[in-house]
Amino acid sequence: MTLTLEDVQKTDDKKVGPFYYRVLNGKYLITNDSGKYLELDEEDFKRFTRGEVDPKTPLGVELQTRGFLREWMDFQALSKDWAQRNAFLSTGTGLHIIVVTLRCNQKCVYCQVTSVGMNETSTDMTEETASQVVRRIFESPNPSITIEFQGGEPLVNWPIIRYVVEAARKINKTAKKNLMIGLVSNLSLMDEEKIDFLLKNNVTFCTSLDGPASVHEENRKWLGGTAHGEVARWWNVIMEKTKRKKYRIDALTTITRLSLSHPKEIIDEYRALGARGIYLRYLSPLGFALRTWEKIGYTSDEYLAFYKTAMDYIIEINLKDKKKLFFENMAKQFLTKILLSEDPNNMDVRNPCGAGIGQVAYNFDGAIYTCDEGRMLSRMKDESFRIGHVKEGSFVDYMRHPAVRSLIASSSLEGQPQCSTCVYKPYDGVCPIYNYVTEGDIVSRMHSNHRCHIHMGILDYLFEKMREPDVKAVFERWVAKAGKPIRADIFQRN
């Protein structure tokens, strides 16, 4: 007998706590707002919804401890779990992206920021603006501050990077915040003097590596030399210089249509360089990528086929060598929420999203945007997500801006018709600006949303793979306390 919607609608609400469900290859996956989950076969699911499970049986105990039986719900423990997962809601803006220039010496086929040529010095941030940006950053109440340099290619405006690093370190002697500073760079303008300064000031590095030279060079055009060769050269230099440091260097790959046929080669390239993992980032239709989509883009199904092949290979690698981890970062972000009930500090999978309350972006001219995506839209002649300027108002004024409030409301899953009842609601988030670009509205029609389809496919894959005990053990090692995930919400533009 097959379960029907009518069966689910007959759920005994006096015995069964709030839950979401999804049929996944013959099993019924159930989740709740504290992030707990359980998979049931059809008969057990029927008994669960009817309130017929004996709480003293093994299944009953599982349902009790995970907060699915109303009479046995430990509200204190569940509230603690919820608070732990949503602690970011009360901390204030932690990620501060500084665009020190729009100039870039490479022409990437997927550039989201629509960078300018090397002669356009008018897009360089001045020291006066940089000083005001640093002052604004330390107005945030968050005890942990991350400053991230982006561009263009940030190293084009090296004097401002140096100035901001020194100014932030000086202010922090009094502010005493947990300060992290990161540089996102294609590394082509790096030299020993810059590296020594950055390492001395504990600046972390992230670059882009799209795979072997044949893929990387096609995606990232550079008339000044071999883009892949420079990345590999400076990667090795930084790895050597940071042997005893906790934070070394990470890289991201952007998946284009060309990448789809090279999943194993891309992963092997990262492993050959000694990377601890890889982030298989799908394309976003922003900036130049929107104009070239017909050439470099793909459907969500095409991406998911690539992703699953790549993940199968990554899992195989981990099973063969259990002493050395190699993870996929998007999966790791989701698994952190699934297995640890913790926020992985990824703006893309927060509810609500991180726009304003999690991150802000400071443009080269001092204009402030809700997030880096909002700043990118300014390059597309759309200032909808500009929330102020460093010379005007206060940080509180920026947070009270209607654009921030609108993005919070539109990314709160509880208020979205399809998201509010989705089984993956405890683990995922939406990007209103992505929706705005692709659908013309910050509130999405999720049934046709490219991003949603990809995230659903990845989560389906992860839950199915966790049915295999040895694979679940690999995933548990990925999210163990040692070794933080790559910051997927940042380090992704160059």
Q: How confident is the prediction along the chain (494 residues), in pLDDT tens digits per residue?
A: 455 666 666 788 889 999 999 999 999 999 999 899 999 999 999 999 999 999 999 999 999 999 999 988 888 888 888 888 888 888 999 999 999 999 999 988 888 667 888 999 999 999 999 999 999 999 999 999 999 999 999 999 999 999 999 999 999 999 999 999 999 999 999 999 999 999 999 999 999 999 999 999 999 988 788 899 999 999 999 999 998 887 789 999 999 999 999 999 999 999 999 999 999 999 987 766 677 888 999 999 999 999 999 999 999 999 999 888 999 999 999 999 999 988 888 888 899 999 999 999 999 999 999 999 999 888 888 999 999 999 999 999 999 999 999 999 999 999 888 899 999 999 999 999 999 988 999 998 888 899 999 999 999 999 999 999 999 999 999 999 544 444 434 334 44
User: For residue 23, what is the DSSP state?
Assistant: E
Residue 152 near residue 101 (C-beta atoms within 8 A)? yes
Residue 115: closest CA among 181, 204, 183, 186 = 186
Residue 87 has φ and ψ, to the nearest 5°, of -60, -25
Longest dimension (CA), the chain: 73
Give kind and range of the element (H or E) at residue 37. Answer: strand 37-40
pLDDT tens by residue, 46-58: 999 999 999 999 9
Which amino acid is residue 236, in one-letter code?
Answer: N
Give kind and range of the element (H or E) at residue 368. Answer: strand 367-369
pTM of the model: 0.93
Residue 281 near residue 208 (C-beta atoms within 8 A)? no
Prior bond of 352 cis (ω within 30°): yes
- In whole angstroms, give the CA distance from residue 129 to residue 115: 20
Which residue shows structure tokens 């046995």? 72
Q: What does the pLDDT read at residue 286? A: 72
Q: Residue 305 has which token pair?
A: 């086929």
